[in-house]
Structure 1
């Protein structure tokens, strides 16, 4: 997918260096909104939403961004808010726009946390991601990017404690990818969905359409006061934020199933599937046929 005293000195430096517009959306919960675009040198890969949560003792970061440069700006934005140690960097899934900034956190001592399938996925695709984004992002921006897999893995549901503030991390079955992880802040009922929720930006499938659709009910049942989707406005109402992608999936699945039933070849079916949704999404022309191809391959064997 083209996807102590010393601390105070660091904080002062950070205020001068960070250009990320980070907003406090709930007490101690901060988020950055990415742009609905492809990862390019012009936007430094800043296309997904990022966040961090400040506890009494430490900080957890949700995703690191699409380049080491963006990751450094995120570290700087955190240091402009707090000098507490960054204890966790939580990667919501494998795509480059969410993990290419990981190297910026190497010197913070943060433990990288991810879905139990994430190390395997990065081992399989990491080198391809590094090579394939050099043209779009430019060699200079990609020079410091490293594939850094998680060392703390989530197989189901775990809690991490930031000091008087607990986060619930949940590993999901294949949906957007086979390594989707969400983060729920218990104190403010703020839900970081990763790319299990898209708004504005067309959802992209790298896992299972049927799996994603089957888990929408479980996602909607999470009692959040607000959510930070992987792409789109920050924050958003929950679970209403799921409505648009639910509609898109229903249309896509129905169109593909009809084509299969009518004997339409895949090459033709994917060009017309879900076209009625085109005006509702950014990047529709970039990703819809890819989604339709994956859906056809999955649904023809129902």
Structure 2
């Protein structure tokens, strides 16, 4: 099978040299290079107009992103527990795909177009079925910036009803920051795209003999959280509502997160794929560490307020008893403490 590839380059800026890479263009796959190139010339992606390029097609390359089959038809890529940088290319979030009898759904897309392309190749190494859906669990860039090539492969992009506006409001900040963190070569041709459909209530997807239940959640980790439950395997895909090893990031509501987590732990799921770490935890026990951390944020914030501590003094203390239990604690806890303290100040 032949795939369309276009070599694109980012111009040198400052101390950064020019960076080039072969960008994969899903949607033009064919059993001959001639047919593939003709289709690419006839209807290239609109965004390519910003580049100088020549159509080319080559045998489909093997994927470089590793996926583990954790249950029949359920594949998960384990992201690193690390901050995005040029060395890891932003590969820091878990990504999953689920294979039904008639189509495939992907859950989250990674931090760059390059990662999204590798997700597509990993899927094609497992199945020729159409990629019907891409489900984005929330707005954070390490989960959404790889979405475009999966849409080009035919996926309808789904997310919370609030996701489109959240991404629009943060587009410039997210793309600027991740281009700086990952570097021009790793981030080349990456763009934020909004969902094709925002969900205001539950929705069920039928992949052919396999049903996924999508549930937009109240404000918790963020205001854009959405969970996926696979009936067949009994696995809950939580996004960052559940994380393992990596310090949770509070970008929404502490009280809301506690309530949503309690609801999820009372659900019929028996296993969970967290947004980071794992990649597979028992459920509901897999949420116990999260519950403990969130309770510490609540208790410490209340104590700081009762003692009359100001924000700066309080955030230096809140959550510190949890430091030994989580990685990247210093990067996330103080911000979590600020959000928790501020929210509880108005209780």
Q: Using structure 1 for the length normalisation, give the TM-score.
A: 0.94
Equivalent residues in 2 for 1:4-23, closer than 5 Å = 16-23=61-68
The answer (yes or no) to whether the contact 1:8–1:83 under 8 Å persists in 2 is no
Determine the C-alpha separation between the residues in 1 that align with 2:59 and 2:282: 35
2:220 pairs with 1:182? no
Aligned to 2:144: 99
Residue number in structure 2 paired with 1:39: 84
Give me the whole-angstrom Cα distance separating, in 2, the residues matched to 1:169 and 1:13: 36
Alpha carbons 1:93, 1:177 under 8 Å: kept: yes
Q: Structure 1 24/261 Cα, relative in aligned 2: closer, same or farther at 3 Å?
A: same
Is the contact between residue 134 and residue 151 of structure 2 (CA under 8 Å) also seen in structure 1? no
Report the Cα offset of residue 13 of structure 1.
Answer: 5.0
Cα deviations across residues 115-166 of structure 1 (Å, max 9, x unaligned)?
Answer: 0000010011111101122221112222211111101121121101111211
Q: Within 2, Cα distance between the matches of 1:63 and 1:281? A: 23
1:243 and 2:303 equivalent? no
Match of 2:24 in 1: none
**Bigger radius of gyration, 1 or 2?**
2
Q: Deviations over 1:224-277 (max 9, x none)?
A: 232100011111111111001110111111111111111101011101111111
Taking only aligned residues, the RMSD between alpha carbons, in angstroms, comes to 1.5
Q: Is the 8 A contact 1:23 1:31 kept in 2?
A: yes
Offset of residue 296 of structure 1? 1.1
Contact 1:257 1:299 in 2 (8 A): yes
CA contact (8 A) 1:168 1:184 kept: yes
1:3 maps to which residue? none
Partner of 1:230: 275
**Counterpart Cα distance in 2 of 1:93 and 1:196:** 9
Structure 1 residue 7: Cα displacement: 6.3
Q: Using the alignment, how far apart are the partners of 1:8 and 1:71 within structure 2? A: 22
Question: Matches of 1:8 and 1:215 in 2, distance apart?
Answer: 47
SS in 2 for 1:231: coil
More helix by share: 1
User: Which whole-Å CA distance do the structure 2 matches of 1:66 and 1:240 have between them?
Assistant: 29
1:217 and 2:267 aligned: no
How many equivalent residue pairs?
Answer: 295
2:169 aligned with 1:124, yes or no? Answer: yes
1:156-185 superposed Cα distances (whole Å, 9 cap, x missing partner): 211011112110000000000001001111
**Unaligned runs of at least 5 residues, structure 2:** 1-28, 37-57
Q: CA contact under 8 A between 1:114 and 1:154: conserved in structure 2?
A: yes
Aligned pair 1:275/2:325, yes or no?
A: no
Aligned to 1:148: 193
Report what 1:24 is aligned to: 69
Displacement of 1:107 after TM fit?
Answer: 2.1
CA contact (8 A) 1:190 1:225 kept: yes
Cα distance in 2 for partners of 1:115, 1:106 equals 17
- The one of the two structures with greater contact order (alpha-carbon pairs below 8 A, sep at least 6) is 1
Q: Give the distance between the partners of 1:208 and 1:281, measured in 2 at CA.
A: 20
**How far, CA to CA, are the matches of 2:102 and 2:234 in structure 1?**
19
Q: Which runs of 4+ in 1 moved over 4 A?
A: 6-10
What SS class does the counterpart of residue 223 from structure 1 fall into? coil
Query: TM-score normalised to the size of structure 2?
Result: 0.82
Deviations along 1:71-130, one digit per CA (max 9) or x if unpaired, are: 111110000000000010100000011001012213212100000000010011111101
Conserved? CA contact 1:39–1:47, under 8 Å: yes
Q: How do residues 62-141 of structure 1 correspond to structure 2 at under 5 angstroms?
A: 62-141=107-186
Residues 54, 162 of structure 1: 8 Å contact kept: yes
